[in-house]
Structure 1
Amino acid sequence: MARSTLRQLECFVAVAERGSIAAAAEALHVSESAIAGALNGLERALGTQLTIRRKAHGVTLTPSGSYVLAQARGLLHGAGDLELHAANAGAELRGSLMLGCYLTLAPTVLAGLIAAFAQRHPAVQLDFFDGPQREVQERLLAGRLDLAVAYDLSLPPGLGSRRLYDAVPAVVLAAGHPLASRAAIDLTELVDEPMVLLDVDPSRENTLAMFSAAGLQPRIRFRTTDYEVTRSLVGRGMGYSILVQRPAGDQSYEGRALAVRPIRPAVRPVPVAIVWPDAVRPSQAASAMLDVASGLYAPPAGPGPVRVPTPRLP
């Protein structure tokens, strides 16, 4: 039975990530012929072509190569994890962890999650990336993130998830808006009002789907891709918005008071989950983060405008 080596896999991943044999050789501090030989040996061992090599045009992956890349990253990650913990059996958890987070969730969940994990596992080197949901998903599938916190909405195949808590969309108004005196607000009362739409996926889709389900079409005045810009425009009375996350203080960056009211009738909550790539076996550090994240946040107590649940710190 033909077998590949970890070194061959390491060379293959380096070529795939850097786009050329020369760049991979420089990164691994070996000769270009050694990289080419490792690729040839890996292709012979697996019985398939993994790369297309064109002089002066770098290296591209075949469909088989793209599949093997995800598997190779997982194997290398697991091998490194095994070596690390075999050498430190019984010692405190060590290693590295790359955590992702959807950008509108990051201000309210990321710092607390990192703090709780660092308190339990201070020897783990933890870094993070926050960005658009689609880019977070792409990095997970490419093996560039170990885990990520994201909305559990329309996740692509290849990603597993574990629910952390449910967040409920709410209406955000300037405190002086006539509807701010209501205990709850019906979407029909908003349809003629100007809307400030948080125009990022999946927030945009979720907001518009709520109106569509009610047979309504919102009157969008402004679109923005920034959560705090949305709240600032609302604070200036330029429209209302529908937002899921709620900071601790109901004020815009400019210090203008906001009113956050539940939607009537109640709308479907949005699950917030920790997500991982199915193709990669979680490292011990990733498994530890799953445990920390699962135990950190209490579920919301009931319907209505939802703040991020208070963390239960160890």
Structure 2
Amino acid sequence: MTADFSLRQLEYFVAVANTGSMSAAAVQCHASQAGISTAIADLERRLGVQLLVRRRARGVFLTEAGTRVLEGAQAVLSQAEELRASAQAEEGQVAGRLTIGCYATLSPFLIPPLVDGFTRLHPAVDLQFVDGSQDEVRQALLEGACDLAFLYDTGAEAGLACTTVRSNRPYVILPAGHPLAGSDALSLTELADEPLIVYGSPPMESNAERWTHSVGVKPNIRYRTSSIEAVRSLVARGFGYSMLVQRWPTDTSFEGLPLAAVAIKDPLEEVRVVVAHAANVTLTHRARALAEYACETLSLPEPPGGGTPTRGT
């Protein structure tokens, strides 16, 4: 039996479900609000169920039937996009739209080299990205808002399939004039009495507390901030020390003040960066290609002066 509804109607319905309002969906889909409303009303008529409950000035919410239809609609749109990409691609070419998510702190380290390197290899891929907190990016994966995501492995990635792309050991940053700033490595016990500046976005705060407790130190947390550059600037101004995972390409703070990075000699576990996807989703050819590219390149050392690591080296 031929379906008597259109992909455009499904697209509008998914947009309304994701944004929570007709007006927001209209902006997202570059359509009129009246057009969105008419299309969904016709879709409801053709399916024989009410999908949304409209509330004046309060947006919409899904009915029970709408919740069931939403999952199927997302799957149909995904399959249609894959069909379009396959049809448009030349033989052996990777093509189509691909959205990746990234934990916000990892974005400046991972997203630029990925976008640069992958789109050079596969110019027919329309690569988009979103970033946010670990929970926001994880939810985007589970809801189908992105195809792949780069996250820290916390051991609680329920519903996700994860592959490690990079591992880093935590290290300490100190003001350049600190007595231990010139050390090759130090123990966290040497900083036991000093104030700790914590990056307050999960999972880093819990990591910092776990690392200090593992060596018998009760952390003396002085400041928490959700800005990683604020952490580095506070340390550079002498307000305390901090522990980070990713290595900055500069030894100065946002304000241009000097910082010292010192290795930690305590046996702390490495922190893994993973590329993840929803476990119940079959990856498209382009998503698999990006995951493979990430595993090949993100573990490589960055060339002097920055840029994209050379594939296969």
SS of equivalent residue, structure 1 residue 287: helix
Bigger Cα displacement from structure 2, 22-31 vs 209-218? 22-31
Distance in 2 separating the partners of 1:59 and 1:264? 55
CA drift at 1:291: 1.6
Matches within 5 A, 1:261-272: 261-272=262-273
SS of equivalent residue, structure 2 residue 256: coil
Bigger Cα displacement from structure 2, 119-128 vs 265-274? 119-128
> Cα gap change, 1:168/1:75 in structure 2, threshold over 3 Å: closer, same or farther?
farther
In structure 1, the residue matched to 2:235 is 234
How many residue pairs get matched? 301
> Cα gap change, 1:22/1:189 in structure 2, threshold over 3 Å: closer, same or farther?
closer
Match of 1:312 among 289, 310, 313: 310
In structure 1, the residue matched to 2:139 is 138
The two structures, once aligned, show a CA RMSD in angstroms of 3.0
Letter in 2 for 1:82: L
Distance in 1 separating the partners of 2:281 and 2:76? 8
Distance in 1 separating the partners of 2:209 and 2:310? 34
Letter in 1 for 2:215: A
TM-score, normalisation: structure 2 = 0.83
Unmatched tracts of structure 2, length 5 or more: none
- 1:220-271 residue CA offsets vs partner (Å, 9 max, x unmatched): 1221211122111111221100001111222222333322222232201110
> Cα gap change, 1:5/1:173 in structure 2, threshold over 3 Å: closer, same or farther?
same
SS of equivalent residue, structure 2 residue 177: coil
> Cα gap change, 1:71/1:201 in structure 2, threshold over 3 Å: closer, same or farther?
farther
Match of 1:37 among 38, 42, 48: 42
Matches within 5 A, 1:152-231: 152-231=153-232
In structure 2, the residue matched to 1:95 is 96
- 1:20-73 residue CA offsets vs partner (Å, 9 max, x unmatched): 5687689567474542232354466xxxx7x45245254312466446534432
Distance in 1 separating the partners of 2:294 and 2:73? 27
Distance in 1 separating the partners of 2:267 and 2:72? 43
Distance in 1 separating the partners of 2:111 and 2:2? 44
Distance in 2 separating the partners of 1:24 and 1:128? 19
8 Å CA contact 2:101, 2:130 repeated in 1: yes
Distance in 1 separating the partners of 2:81 and 2:212? 49
Distance in 2 separating the partners of 1:255 and 1:33? 56
What percent of counterpart residues are identical?
A: 39
Distance in 1 separating the partners of 2:25 and 2:179? 62
CA drift at 1:95: 1.3
Relative CO higher for 1 or 2, CA cutoff 8 Å, sep ≥ 6?
1
Letter in 2 for 1:313: R
Matches within 5 A, 1:99-114: 99-114=100-115
In structure 2, the residue matched to 1:305 is none
> Cα gap change, 1:227/1:15 in structure 2, threshold over 3 Å: closer, same or farther?
closer
